[in-house]
Structure 1
Amino acid sequence: MDVRDLKVFAAVAEAGVVTRAAAQLNTVQSNVTARLHALEQELGVLLFHRHSRGMSLTAAGTHLQSYATKILALVDEAKHAVSDNGEPKGTLRLGSMETTAAVRMPSLLISFTKLYPLIDVNFYTGTTGELVQDVLDRKLDGAFVAGPVAHRDLESVVAFEEELTIATSRQVRSLDHLIASSEEVRILMFRQGCVYRRRLEMLLGNRGVAKVKVLEFGTLEGLLGCVAAGLGITMLPTSVVRPGMNLACHAIDADEARIETVFVSRAGSYAHSPLTHFQRHFEERVTPAPTIPLRPARLIAMS
C-alpha cells in the first residue's frame, strides 16, 4: 500500500468527486481514477460507491479512511520531526470552542503571531466533542475545550477557569419564575458535543423541568441575538456576556457554575516547534478574562 495512494483515497473521500480531488492534489483526473482502482485491486474490496452525484464510501472505505488519516498524519509528523531544528516556523492547527474563540483567543493569537511571524496559524471552532476527536485524529495539533478531559491518548493542561451563567432576555424576571410559568423551556445551544448544553440540560432536569426543546445554533452571535429577542435561554461563561447585548444573567450555584477550559494535545506524539512555542506562550500570557460579578439569586441586566 503506497502512501501516495492513501493520499489520493483520502482526498476523494473528503471531496466526494474525483474532479475536485484531482484539483486539490494538482493532478489529472485519470491519475486519481487509476490510483483508486489500483488500491481497490490490491485490497480486494470496493472502497467507493460510484453514482451520478459523485462517490461515497463503502463500509470498507469508511474503515480505511480512519487508518488513512492516522497514517498520513504520522507521515507528516515524521517529516516535521526530522526537519525541525527548533526554529519557530511552520503550520499550527488550533481549535477552540466558540465562546473561548470570542473572548480568550483574540489577544492570545495577536500576541503569538506578532512574536512568531513565521508560524502560520490555522484556527477552527467547534464543540468540545468535535474538537477532542479532531485532536485524536491528528486533524488538529491542539484545542481549547471544556474540561476535564480524560483520555489515555491525550494530554491536557488547565488554561482558564470559567464561571457559567444562564442568560435570558431582559423580560425574564427569574429562572424560577420562567420554569414555573412554562410548560416547555426552550434552550438555545450549540450542536451535540457541547458541554455547556449538557450542563444546562442537567440543571433544568434537577429543577424538575420535564419538557425541554433544544434549538441548535452554529454561531455565538446568532445564539446570543436570539436569546436577547426572547426565543429561549442559554448557558454560557459570564465573560461572553457584555454590556449592550440586551441580556440578563441569572446566577447559579457555585458547583454548577465552575468549569475549566483545558488545552488538549496528543500524548506520546512528537510536539513540533510551533506547538511547543504556542503552549509555552499561552501558559505565560493567559490572564483571566473580565467577568460580570454574580451573586446567588440575583438578576443582572445588561443594557
Structure 2
Amino acid sequence: MNLRQLKYFVATAETAQASRAASALSISQSSVTTAIRDLEASLGVALFLRKRHGMELTNAGRELLTTAYAILSKVEDAQNLRQRDIETTGTIRIAASYTVVGYFLPFHLDRLKQLHPNLDIQLHELNRDSIEEGLLSGRFDLAVLLTSNVTDPGLESETLLRSTRRVWVPSGHPFAKRHRVDFEDIAGEDYILLTVDEAANTAMKYWSSQQLHPQIRLRTMSIEAVRSMVANGQGITILSDMVYRPWSLEGKRIATVMTNTPVPTMDVGLAWRKDVTFSAQMRLVHDYFRQAYNSPYPG
C-alpha cells in the first residue's frame, strides 16, 4: 500500500467512476484502475463492485475510505509543517455564497488555518447581490463565489474551477445506460429544480436556448432534498460535479450522464473591487488559491 494508491482510491470512491477520478486528478484512467487493482491485491479484498453505472464501494471499501481519509489528513498536516507561517497576522473579511460555503470552502479554510494560524479570517455567507454590494462598499475584502454569476462592472473576478454540469438520475434509470441524453428526453421526465445561488435562473437560460421547458415537479433550495428526490426516483435534475455525491442520505445510488448539447459549467472563483489596493492579507489568500489551482482562468 502506498499514498498514491490511497489518493486514487479516495478520488474514485468520491466520484464513483474511475474516468471521473482520473479527470479530477489530471492523470490517465489506466493509472487509476491499475492503482486500485494493486491496492485490492495487496489487501486481499475487493474495494469496489464494478457496475454498468460506475464503481460502488463494498463494505471493505467503506472501511478503508474512513482510514484513508485519516491517513491522508495526517500526511497533509506533516507537509504543512514546513510551510507554516506564524508571522502573518491581521484580519481578512471574506464573503461567500451558499454553495461555495457548503461544497468548496471548508477544505481551503482548514488549510489556510494550518498554513497561517494567526491570520483572522472572518467569513460571511450571503447571496450574490449582497456580496457584490459589500465588495463595492468596502465591507468585504474578497469574495469566493460563483464567478459565472458576477455581473457588476465595478468588480474583478478570477475563475479557479469550472465544474461540469450533468444529468442526475436514480440508479437503474434508462438514462444511466446511455453515454449522453437529449434535452427532448429530459423534458419528458419529472424535474427537480434547485433554486439556491441563482441555480434556477441559470437552468432556465440553458433550457430556453433549447426552446424547451423542464417538467418541474419541485422547486427547492436544498441540495440534499434534490439528491433524495432523485435517488428515490421522484425526478431527475441537472447539477454540477462540485455538489455531486453518489449517495443520497438514505443510502440510495445516484448516477450521472452528460447531455448531448453542452451545458455551461458552474464557475467558482474570487472577486474583489476593481480599484482596490490589495492588503498583505488579501494577497496571501489570493496567492494561496492561485497555487491551489495552478492555471486560473481570467474572469
TM range (shorter): 0.5 to 0.7
Instruction: Map residues 278-293 of structure 1 onto 2, 5 A cutoff.
Output: 278-286=285-293
1:271 corresponds in structure 2 to 278
**Which of 244, 247, 252 is the matching residue for 2:247?**
244
1:226-255 Cα deviation digits (max 9, x unpaired):
332344433322132233342121312574
**Change beyond 3 A, Cα 1:224–1:123:** farther
Q: Secondary structure at the match of 1:200?
A: helix
Contact 1:167 1:234 survives alignment (8 Å): yes
**Conserved 8 A contact 2:96-2:124:** yes
Q: How does 1:84-233 map to 2 (within 5 A)?
A: 88-148=88-148, 149-170=150-171, 172-174=173-175, 176=182, 179=186, 181-182=188-189, 185-191=190-196, 194=198, 196-210=199-213, 212-213=215-216, 215-233=218-236
Distance 2:222 2:281 in 1: 28
1:132–1:145 Cα contact (<8 Å) kept:
no
* SS class of match (2:113): helix
Structure 2, unmatched stretches of 5+, are 1-86, 176-180
Instruction: Report deviation, 1:268.
Output: 1.4
Q: CA deviation at 1:263?
A: 0.8
Return closer, same or farther for 1:233/1:110 CA change in 2, 3 Å cut-off.
same
Aligned residues: 198
Q: Give the TM-score, by structure 2 length.
A: 0.54
Query: Would the alpha carbon gap of residues 158 and 186 (structure 1) be closer, same or farther in structure 2, given more than 3 Å must change?
Result: same
C-alpha displacement of 1:199: 3.0
The range that moved more, 249-258 or 205-214, is 205-214
Query: CA 1:162–1:251 in structure 2 vs 1: closer, same or farther (change >3 Å)?
Result: same
Distance 1:211 1:109 in 2: 37
Deviation at 1:220, TM superposition (A): 3.2
In the aligned structure 2, how far is the partner of 1:229 from the partner of 1:122?
Answer: 39
Runs of at least 5 residues in structure 1 that lack an aligned partner in the other structure = 1-86, 289-303
TM-fit CA distance, 1:150: 4.7
Structure 1 residues 163-221: Cα deviation after superposition (integer angstroms, max 9, x where no partner): 11122333643365754545xx4333134x51x43332233334443465474444433
Q: Which amino acid aligns with 1:188?
A: L
Aligned partners of 2:205 and 2:164: how far apart in 1?
17
Aligned AA (2:254)? L
d(CA) in 1 for partners of 2:218, 2:172: 20
Flag the 1:226–1:91 CA change in 2: closer, same or farther, 3 A: farther
**Conservation of the 8 A alpha-carbon contact between 1:165 and 1:251:** yes
Q: 1:179 to 1:236 in 2, by over 3 A?
A: closer
C-alpha RMSD over aligned residues: 3.2
Rounded to whole Å, the distance in 2 between the matches of 1:168 and 1:129 is 32
* Structure whose CA Rg is larger: 1
- Retained in 1: the 8 A contact 2:164–2:241? yes
Taking the TM superposition and a 5 Å limit, the aligned residue runs for 1:69-80 are: none
Structure-2 separation of matches of 1:130 and 1:166: 30
Distance 1:126 1:253 in 2: 34
Please give the secondary structure, in 1, of the residue aligned with 2:117: coil
Q: CA deviation at 1:113?
A: 0.9
Q: Kindly tell me: are residues 210 and 150 of structure 1, through their superposed partners in 2, closer, same or farther at Cα, counting changes over 3 Å?
A: closer
Output the CA distance in 2 between the equivalents of 1:158 and 1:152. 16
* CA distance, structure 2, for counterparts of residue 92 and residue 240 of structure 1: 27
State the match for 1:55 in structure 2.
none
Alpha carbons 2:147, 2:271 under 8 Å: kept: no
- Going from structure 1 to structure 2, the CA distance change for 1:231 and 1:159 (only over 3 Å counts) comes to same
Question: Partner letter of residue 186 of structure 1?
Answer: Y
Report what 2:34 is aligned to: none
